[in-house]
């Protein structure tokens, strides 16, 4: 069971590698990847440096080209595939069938992974991508229960990768419509759910307000921690009460069921957070590496240490964690 960690820039890449990641995933500095925030991501020279840094230490670099190109700019996404192949990345993480087809035909020796943005939640969907494009691994959405994950791993023609820590989303990955409703831009095509140009902060005596394209997302009391404004995690007035009406800010954490995921045959644990700091990457990677190693050494006797849980709680959204859909008994 491999550990795959995020790299929003070179410092994060090095933090992940130095703290025990088996692989890192990153993106170009454009709309071809789903974390297209200003100040994040890589130009080709930085990717080349990152690949050399990782390969010297026996680690892999995966590149996310996981947004859906519009017809008018399809060639831009194809050019990104070509650049990635020329740079020598170890795999591309992709979602769009047309782009997968281009990559499979143009670079038949390049390893392809199906992104979580592809929303493949059953063996028929995974089999389709495997037969037609030769994908060699699949990242599954965070909407499946543990029994469903088990059944999928058993039936999948390729190894299955699951998210182990990081932000959750109320939407099925690759199907979000909330951001485009407010900003006119979709994370599935533009690479970011709250584009920086649409974000505005307002300081007042009674605290701080965040707005997205003019829409009030949240009002924080003085000294209350403020999260980046996303529509799904905002607080809204519903029937006279103000609360997180769509989704509570919390983070997925699978340490409690790590032994079960290992027993099921999950191939890789993925950490979310290319938009987070190198310090976040280092801390989460360190904890997940220690937990995975302990689990592999003694699966029957494995228990998550209190210190691991405390460390992850500190960097989680809302400073709380959950198993999310994984613990739904009715699925």
Q: What pLDDT, in 10s, does the model give residues 143-163?
A: 899 999 999 999 999 999 999
- Looking at residues 293-322, what average pLDDT do you find? 91
Pair 151, 196 in one domain: no
**195 and 296 part of one domain:** no
Find the domain containing 118 and state its range: 2-168+250-327
Is residue 176 in some structural domain?
A: no
For residues 152 and 200, membership in a common domain is answered with no
The reply to whether 276 falls in a domain is: yes
Q: At a CB cut-off of 8 Å and minimum separation 6, what does 217 contact?
A: 210, 211, 229, 230, 231, 234, 235
Last residue of a domain, one of 223, 243, 263: 243
Task: Please tell me whether residues 27 and 153 are part of one structural domain.
Answer: yes
Same domain, 208 and 97: no
**Do residue 124 and residue 158 come from a single domain?**
yes
- Strand locations in the chain (E): 2-6, 23-26, 60-65, 91-94, 112-114, 137-139, 160-167, 199-204, 207-212, 215-220, 236-238, 241-243, 251-253, 268-271, 321-322
Indicate whether this model's pTM tops 0.85: yes
pLDDT, tens only, 106-134: 999 999 999 999 999 999 999 999 999 99
CATH of the domain at 54: 3.20.20.70
* Residue 1 predicted with pLDDT over 80: yes
């Amino acid at each position: 069971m491999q550990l795959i960690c995020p790299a929003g820039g070179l410092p994060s890449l090095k933090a992940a590698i130095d703290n025990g990641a088996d692989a890192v995933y990153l993106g170009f500095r454009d709309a071809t990847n789903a974390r297209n925030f200003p100040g994040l991501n890589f130009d080709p020279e930085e990717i080349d440096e990152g690949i050399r840094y990782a390969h010297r230490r026996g680690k892999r670099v995966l590149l996310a080209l996981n947004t859906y190109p519009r017809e008018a700019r399809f060639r831009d996404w194809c050019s990104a595939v070509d650049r990635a192949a020329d740079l020598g990345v170890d795999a591309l993480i992709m979602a769009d069938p047309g782009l997968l087809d281009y990559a499979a035909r143009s670079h038949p020796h390049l390893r392809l992974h199906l992104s979580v943005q592809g929303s493949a939640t059953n063996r028929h969907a995974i089999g389709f991508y495997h037969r037609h494009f030769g994908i060699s691994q699949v990242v599954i959405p965070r909407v499946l229960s543990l029994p469903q994950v088990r059944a999928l791993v058993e039936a999948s023609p390729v190894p299955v990768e699951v998210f182990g820590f990081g932000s959750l989303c109320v939407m099925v990955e690759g199907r979000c419509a909330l951001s485009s409703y407010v900003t006119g831009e979709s994370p599935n095509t533009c690479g970011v759910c709250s584009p920086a140009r649409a974000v505005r902060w307002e300081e007042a005596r009674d605290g701080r307000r965040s707005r997205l394209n003019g829409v009030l997302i949240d009002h924080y009391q003085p000294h209350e921690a403020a999260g980046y404004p996303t529509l799904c995690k905002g607080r809204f007035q519903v029937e006279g009460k103000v609360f997180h009406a769509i989704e509570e800010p919390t983070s997925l954490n699978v340490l409690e069921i790590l032994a079960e995921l290992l027993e099921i045959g999950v191939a890789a644990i993925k950490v979310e957070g290319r938009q987070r700091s190198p310090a976040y990457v280092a801390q989460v990677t360190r904890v997940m590496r220690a937990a995975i190693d302990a689990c592999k050494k003694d699966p029957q006797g494995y228990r998550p240490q209190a210190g691991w849980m405390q460390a992850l709680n500190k960097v989680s959204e809302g400073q709380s964690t959950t198993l999310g859909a994984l613990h739904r008994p009715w699925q």
